[in-house]
Chain A
């Protein structure tokens, strides 16, 4: 609802002026304006943690209250909630009733339940880390970091008269939208002594457009967009296939040894170390089992199903990377003098 500007919610006149510091002052924010961030482990972890916590606290509260500031970013970030809760529920469905069963029934049910729990865990981990298999080679080949983060300073609407906390930080990625890529973030800041196009220059050089281009940004943007699109589709397909590989790995019988001694009580150093050692061994054996099939496998499909699933994941990754780094939007390599056909007459005037 759009309120009349002339009147405030209480009927008082609004004033547009800087408030004095003191009570009711909005908390200090780490960023005053939209800021490009470094894509390193520390930043990723910090952003991940903040988004994770807010997905369980602030954003659901905003949504349930019907806040006028609740936006699509919050909705998407809240996706962490069903992911985590869903994973835990799925684990619980296959495990939490088991202790009530008889000893034999419990053991049998837990065998499947443990595999399922490990499968859920591996699904998430394999999906998360398999993105690197696309991102890293693409960055290496093109110089384009498709996951480059930035902090967006968001101006919020006042929810109530005492609401002075009108700014919030959102963490986005420069290339999260291929239609509305935030190009401004990629320009350098001359005040900091940066060349305006220095990021585009680097990419241009890496993709073979040459050095010292007059307007590298204009040359690079179509390429940047192409890489974004292609890498996104590569990740969409390959990460799920890697996640599937993770689940298949978790369903190997080799894990039974680990399940028998698994402990998360890290404060019991000796037991935990032993558990981790067996985890490593089971991982190795399960990988072999997935690749070769069960020892008693007779049918071709039983012997080679594991190879097929791994092969699909690898193939989708390699094909995705090759397709991404195969850039079609490079400008023609014609020399300046070849741009115009000398044999043809042309009238300028």
Chain B
């Protein structure tokens, strides 16, 4: 029997199927038999194959992928691309768009960390988009069901596609019977069922479809969450990497100092100076020219240096000392006349008649022998001009010199040569003093160029030093010092073991933060072991702070050597050119040259380090003092046995509060406190401490404590200072005495007593620690005191709470999405087992 349908026609006409041509069919060909055995009509032999790449294939896969994308782009531009290629280009477009966003936002961010995170965020987003289905759907599905739901295959054209992307067209023929049966065994499909392969395929299809649907349903939540969590977790490592990179780069600035300074380009300044000199060469040295020159050669210098250079240069470029008479001078004189006579209300024509011509003025001055020389002052010239103008006015108003108009004009003329303001030239004098008799010569030009060159060299050096000090210690985000601060502060809060509730409370307000921290420290110091652990951890933290900042201190580091040599070299050169005042402003004078710019370079670095260290030392000192109050039976030795217990309680409360909340202003007013004017003198016992907290029997118990402070109690402040910054308790000293920072800590305490306690001030001038006065400016006092502990805690608690809250919300949400996705795997692919086909009756 011959078939004559479309399928047959196709089969017959296709070259690949000619072996089935009926004419060449075997004899006794039975189509029914062939159809039953399914050997007659077959699809074209497929060249596709399942793709099972390994990790080692990844580089070549990436390379092939890029090549494919590039070819796809070329094909698309010429209008020859296919659907698969266009689909790939859509992904490429999405990545280009993402890259454009990250690149733009990179330019908007101010710090390396935030800049980096634009690209890290983008990568994390695309990464999350990619790994979510692989990690949370593909992998679990493989583990649970035993096959790859994201299996890829390569078609005849070498295009890679997902086997299960379109469930109406799954290329099952790429799976061998052996593979399908193996998957079936894994899926626990009974072996004795009819059409086992079909059943397994349907089960696989269902599982893949359900997973694909889960992918769509979950990726909306998962991709942003996962990328945010990835970024969150990457912050620490990236910050650490950037810190080390920054540190290395900054050190290289100094180790390659000569290379760095050679990068500076001063050609624009030099060209501008050349233009100024060229335009004015041989011309009179005017004030404007002088200012232009000074402004050019002192570009980027401190105003104090510019002022010194200005003063020094006056001897080199004499401006305002010697003048000559020229046409310009006479024009100015005529202009001065015009301005002077303006109040008279004369018309232009009248003025033209009244005012002498330049030639008239010149002849008049020549007749009096006042032309042709070099003049320092112009009183004779002014009088001559007055005389000339008086004559003209007299002639102008006719024969009535006593007329109102004549008198008015004479009055204005007087004003012109007599300036009311002391020390200031009259307008006429000023008009004469416009044309300098000295001109810009080659010698002056050479001198100026030399000075400019010296400042260029200095500026090239200071700009490198500025860059270095900025990276290291500037009050800015992500400096080395800021990184140290953040890391130490973060570790400190961990060491305190604050509960989330305490953190949530402490972030509300600095006062509340102080209360929380005080309660926590009192709790810790009550337990010697717990306090010992805390101090040990702080010892480690402070050792790191000290070790990292010690090399930057004065006379200890290449930076300070380079500051010295840079300024010294410039100063020597400038001194040779006679710029002594400038040298003074650069090097300074007095102790350590603190008044000069060089001193600022040293001080900036040292003060910033002092400020940061003091803040951390204050924390340790707070713990020390709280510990002393909690445990030291000899507290009476500090504050005196003779004091009534009520006063002791007041002082302990004052000390605890000031260490926690005090600012420099509190020390300036000698620690203002409301006290009882009439304490109970009968009780001179020691204070009582229970669980680290002082039990107040007097303080705060009576309305008397709302009264004022007592300025006559001069020892009160002194003893309070000693209690705050006095000796370290032996238990605490035992744990820190071998630390690298111990000596510095001791110096801090002594310095704090001196600078905060020894300042004579407006509040109670007679109250000083031990009656000794120590001088300290406000910056020194500020740096020695450090940050207020409660404010430090408030900021820390805020950061901790915010990041914790965010992580708590989105961490839970992320965990829920992951949980649901993973658990769903166990509900996928459920099917009824097929019933065996019954034999036809």
Contacts and interface: CB of A to CB of B under 8 A. Distances in A.
Interface string A229-272: 11011001101110111011001000000000000000000000
A132 interface: no
Given A90-B224, A329-B79, A63 B507 contact: no
B490 to A, nearest CB: 17
A202 interface: no
A71 B83 CA distance: 18
Interface stretch (B214-222, B644-652, B727-735): B214-222
A102 B81 contact: no
Interface in B780-804: 798, 801-802
A182 interface: no
Given A70-B209, A178-B83, A248-B105, A230 B809 contact: no
A308 B106 CA distance: 13
Contacts of B96: 237, 240-241
B837 interface: yes
Q: Which of A68, A83, A93, A245 has the most CB of B within 10 A?
A: A93
For this complex, into which size category does the number of interface residues on chain B fall? Answer: 35 or more
Interface in A292-309: 294, 299, 301-302, 305-306, 308-309
B101 interface: yes
B463 to A, nearest CB: 16
Nearest to A232: B86
A109 B802 contact: yes
Contacts of B89: 232-233, 236-237
Interface stretch (A19-27, A33-41, A74-82, A279-287): A74-82
A30 B371 CA distance: 110
B809 A97 contact: yes
A1 interface: yes
A72 interface: yes
Contact of B93 (A71, A239, A328): A239
Contacts of B798: 101-102, 105
A210 interface: no
A229 B79 CA distance: 5
Interface stretch (B195-203, B257-265, B324-332, B670-678): B195-203
A302 B105 CA distance: 10
B355 to A, nearest CB: 50
Contacts of B76: 229-230, 232-233
A70 B205 CA distance: 11
Interface string B503-517: 000011000000000
B79 A227 contact: yes
B256 interface: no
A82 B207 CA distance: 20
Q: Which of A66, A75, A84, A237 has the most CB of B within 10 A?
A: A66
Interface string B643-665: 00000000000000000000000
A249 to B, nearest CB: 10
Contacts of B90: 236
A89 interface: yes
A39 to B, nearest CB: 20
Nearest to A227: B79
A305 B108 CA distance: 9
Contacts of B212: 63, 75
Contacts of B195: 1
B221 A89 contact: yes
B711 interface: no
B82 A66 contact: no
A301 B219 contact: no
Interface in A33-76: 60, 62-64, 66-68, 70-72, 75
A244 B168 contact: no
Contacts of A2: 198
Given A1-B202, A60-B217, A236-B93, A71 B168 contact: yes
Contact of A66 (B198, B209, B508): B209
B604 interface: no
Contacts of A78: 213, 216
Interface string B101-142: 101110110000000000000000000000000000000000
Given A1-B834, A75-B165, A93 B216 contact: no
A63 B213 contact: yes
Nearest to A229: B79
B212 to A, nearest CB: 6
Interface of A: 1-2, 4, 60, 62-64, 66-68, 70-72, 75, 78-79, 81-86, 88-90, 93, 96-97, 100-102, 105, 109, 177-180, 225-227, 229-230, 232-233, 236-237, 239-241, 243-245, 247-248, 251, 294, 299, 301-302, 305-306, 308-309, 312, 323, 328-329
Interface of B: 73, 75-83, 86, 89-90, 92-94, 96-98, 100-101, 103-105, 107-108, 165-169, 195, 198-199, 201-202, 205-207, 209-210, 212-214, 216-217, 219-221, 223-225, 228, 507-508, 798, 801-802, 805-806, 809-810, 828-829, 834, 837
30 contacts: A64-B210, A66-B205, A71-B166, A75-B166, A75-B213, A82-B216, A83-B220, A86-B219, A89-B224, A90-B224, A93-B224, A93-B228, A97-B810, A100-B805, A101-B801, A101-B802, A102-B508, A178-B82, A227-B79, A229-B75, A229-B79, A233-B73, A233-B86, A236-B92, A237-B93, A240-B96, A240-B100, A248-B104, A251-B108, A305-B108
Given A63-B210, A68-B205, A105-B798, 8 more contacts: A1-B195, A66-B205, A82-B217, A84-B220, A102-B798, A178-B86, A232-B81, A247-B101
